[in-house]
Structures are given as C-alpha cells and as structure tokens.
Structure 1
Amino acid sequence: MSDYQVLHQTEDEYGPLIVLDDKESRILAFGENDEQSKLLKAAPHIPQHTYVQAMLLVLLYSQPKSAIVLGLGGGGLIHALRHFDAGIKLTAVELRADVIDLAKRYFQLPLSKKLKVINQDATQFLALGDHKRVDIIFTDIYSAEGVDVAQVSESFIAQCAALIKADGYLVLNCWKEHSKNRELLAYLELHFVEVRACLTGSANWVVIAGKTRRDISSSALKHHAQALSNQLDFPLARSLTRFDLWK
C-alpha cells in the first residue's frame, strides 16, 4: 500500500485504526497489510470488495423495509443499501466508537433519520433482543485477526434468528474455511429452511440463510440479477455463478 497517503493513524483498546487514501479510493485498516473497508470516493455505493457484492445477493430474494448491520467498518454495506432503497430503516451496530467517527469523517457515511448507529458489542446487542424484528440481518464482525468467533456460534445464530421476521434472511460474511464447518450449517438449519452460500474471489464464504423457501428457476434468477445489477450499479454475475445451496 505504498501508493497510499496516510490520512489518519491512531490506536484504541482493540488495536490500530488507519485510514489510507490514493485520490480515487479510501481504505480503513485495522493493522498493517489489512483492508477492512474500501470506498470509491466518486461512487461510494459501489462495493469494492467481492464479499460485500456477494452479501447483496440477498436482495434477489428480499425487498427489505428494515435491516440490521452488525459491524459497520467504513459503511460499505450502508452505502449500497441506501443506494438500493433510501427508504430502508437501517440499524448499524459497531463495537469501536472510533470506527463510527472515522466512517462519518472519512467514508461519507450517509447519515439520515433512516439510519441509527449504535456503539455496542454486537453480542450484547443481540442478547438484549429489544430491537424490532427486521427483514435482514447482515453480520460482518471482523478484527485484524479475522472473523470474530462469536459470529459462528450457536447462540449468535439463534439470537439473530429471533430478531428476523418470519420471511427474513441472515447474511454472514465468513472465511472460506467455514465452508467445511458442519456445526455452523447445523446451527443455521435449526432456524432457517434454506441455506445458500457463495465463495468469493477474496476467499470469503458468504452465507445467506432464509426462513422461507424460494423456488426461483435459474433463468429467472439470472434475469432478476441483471435487473438488480442495474439498480445497484455493479454486476452480480460473478457472485451468482458461485452461489448455491449449502449442503
């Protein structure tokens, strides 16, 4: 990342916080050679990471009116969802107060009455269970070391499911190693009737679990993906070819 200018570099109780800029894009890092979030400054709604693009495949199945995002980072998902539909009620939960400040200061976080940002540990937020049920929960809880272990635990999945509506979805961003985690699949199958997943070009394993079964033909799905790609302003085709039932 030698071509990037350091705009911000501090440290909180959880580790380093670095903001880098190369005129066209901006990166939030939690350590050296780390890239937690990347934003294209001229078009912040277009996800720069393939795992974020894959997470948005859930919009092929759901037209959400409300969603929870666990793990704010630079706000890439918030930007994309706001571009998709500015009327969605969004709640973002972020452990690190400084990350929230950086998202606002450097990553054009689209603040509005439709977005509530909560500075809290996601596991505590879920344990309280006092948020209204939503159509989708996106969970993307990472540190510089990788996926938070809580995110793939039985209690975490159960608590997420309790906050999702009867026809809603859970979207998990994991590592490709989790594709062999049969315990995780079993936890999901306790609460969701259809579990799909996508291995991304960045070696992430994105899981989309639904509480209802959607019988959509492959041709209809491709057609819908093309329309959704136009709406989101980036192509979904690459993610869709890797997307299938997790068995």
Structure 2
Amino acid sequence: MSSASRELFREYDQYGVVRVLEEGDRRILSFGDDDEQSSVLKSDSTALQHEYTRAMLLVLAFIEPKQVLSLGLGAGGLNTCLHERFPNISQQVVELRPAVITAAQRFFRLPRGRRLELHQMDAGVFLGGPSQGRFDLIFSDIYGPEGMDEQQIDPVFLQRCAGRLKAKGWLVLNCWREHEGSELINLLSGLFSDIRGVTTSEGNWVIYAGMEGCSHSTSQLKRSLKTLEKQLGFSLSPSFKRLRTYL
C-alpha cells in the first residue's frame, strides 16, 4: 500500500482493526497498518486481484457446483465473482467478524439476495452445528491479523468439512507455503480420494481435495479451463501449469 492511500473505513473489535483503503481504482481490506487482506477494483469487482484467489477458482475445472460454502469472507471478491459469473450457484458464507461483513457490503459491492446467504459466526462452530445441508464445494480461507487461522488445518475441522460435502464434492484450502512440509496431506488422504495443489508467487499453497477422484484427462481439463477462463474473464493458466497431484 502506498502513502497515497485514503482511508474510507476503520472499526475495532476484539481481534483488532478492520480498515478499508482506497488507491485510485483499488479498494483494499486491511487488518493492520501494513496489511493487505484483499483488494477489489471499483471498475470491476469480479476481476480478482490476488493470484491465490484466482488459483482457488481452478477447482471449477474439476466440478460444476450448485451449492457452495465459503469459510471466511474478506472483501468478498471470490463470492462476488461467483455470484455475477455463475448465476446457477447458490452460496453460503461464514464470517466471524461483523466489521468485515459491514466493510464487504458497504465498500466492496458484496451482492445481497437469496443466492448469497451470510452467517456471522466462527467457521468451526458453523461446521459443528446443526446441518445446513451438504455442499458441492467448500472454500476455506480463514485469516486474521496474525495470519492463517490454525483451525483450518486441524483434523477435526477437516473431518467436519468432509462431512459437509456431497459424494463428489471438493474442498479448497488456502494455506501458506510453509505448510507444505506439514502432515496436512497425510491428514487429507484419510478423508479424500483426490488431492492436488498449487503454490503461488505470493507465498500461498492452495489445496484441492476431492471426495472422489477427478476422471478428466489432461486434454479434457485444458478444454474445461478454456471455457472457464472465458466465463471468468481472466486467465487461470499460470495456476494450471503449476498444478501438482499428491494423491
């Protein structure tokens, strides 16, 4: 963020500060003085600005979901993109901090309506609570002022995610590259049949875990990717070229 940033919003809660800054055509969600959680273009809120967020959508080459759950909202760029580009998708979004929801709706054009339902609560509590049905796809991107929420790689959390997926569902986890050497793949291998991953230049490690194996050949995936890129309006090829299969 540059010194030319203009602050539009600031609110404190028990976890720290939530800020919204503006730099030209960009609006930025920040959880600290030198922090950029996410950003959105005012001119096109569906044009995802961060490489890791685009990488998370690579899962749409494996599955055509109808029911999507997002754990963690941020500025809501991914959810806005899905809402605008995929009218057949219904979303439920879980976000812990009310100030983040307020910022996303007021400053980042997060859509409102029947196709996008918000739950203000902890993601783990939501997963362990009364069933909200099963999902085709779960995105888990839970970050706070100190970085990634460690519950995102906790065995109980992962089991609950798997339990909320349909038979052919997929889980997408946004982690840090430092977790590559952890036991995470071993934990996932006990729950999922197909595990793939992508590392980004921003330091993220995005994992795709499928309840069933993806039967698409490489040529089929490439055809799906071209169709998907046209629908999204941006390229996923950099992520696809780095896609690695673990299981």
* Mapped pair 1:228 → 2:220: no
C-alpha deviation, 1:129, in angstroms: 4.5
* Mapped pair 1:68 → 2:76: no
1:192 alignment partner in structure 2:
192
C-alpha deviation, 1:191, in angstroms: 1.2
1:104 alignment partner in structure 2:
105
* Mapped pair 1:213 → 2:233: no
C-alpha deviation, 1:23, in angstroms: 2.6
| 1:64-213 to 2 correspondences below 5 Å | 64-181=65-182, 183-213=183-213
Distance 1:83 1:46 in 2: 11
What code does the residue aligned with 1:219 have?
S
TM-score, length of structure 2 as denominator length: 0.97
| Counterpart secondary structure, 2:190 | helix
- 8 A contact 1:129–1:163 mirrored in 2: no
| Counterpart secondary structure, 2:64 | coil
| Counterpart secondary structure, 1:159 | helix
- 8 A contact 1:83–1:232 mirrored in 2: no
More deviation, 1-10/89-98: 1-10
What code does the residue aligned with 1:29 have?
S
- 8 A contact 2:52–2:174 mirrored in 1: yes
| Counterpart secondary structure, 1:21 | strand
What code does the residue aligned with 2:185 have?
L
Distance 2:123 2:214 in 1: 29
What code does the residue aligned with 1:88 have?
I
What code does the residue aligned with 1:84 have?
R
Distance 2:125 2:178 in 1: 26
Structure 1 segments of 4+ aligned residues over 3 angstroms from their partners: none
2:16 alignment partner in structure 1:
15
- 8 A contact 1:94–1:121 mirrored in 2: yes
What code does the residue aligned with 2:132 have?
H
What code does the residue aligned with 1:185 have?
I
CA displacement 1:10-57 (0-9 Å, x = unmatched): 211110111000130100000121111110111111110001000001
Distance 2:85 2:165 in 1: 20
Distance 1:80 1:239 in 2: 18
- 8 A contact 1:84–1:231 mirrored in 2: yes
TM-score, length of structure 1 as denominator length: 0.97
In the alignment, structure 1 segments of 5+ residues that lack a partner are none
| Counterpart secondary structure, 2:152 | helix
Distance 2:246 2:144 in 1: 26
Distance 2:225 2:4 in 1: 35
Structure 1's 129 and 154: CA in aligned 2 closer, same or farther, altered over 3 A?
farther
CA displacement 1:113-165 (0-9 Å, x = unmatched): 11110000001001114110010010000012111000001000000000000
Distance 2:64 2:54 in 1: 16
In the alignment, structure 2 segments of 5+ residues that lack a partner are none
Distance 2:186 2:155 in 1: 9
| Counterpart secondary structure, 2:156 | helix
Please tell me the root mean square deviation across aligned C-alpha atoms, in Å: 1.1
Distance 1:206 1:83 in 2: 23
Question: Percent of pairs identical after alignment?
Answer: 41
Distance 2:67 2:23 in 1: 34
Distance 1:246 1:32 in 2: 37
Distance 1:130 1:220 in 2: 35
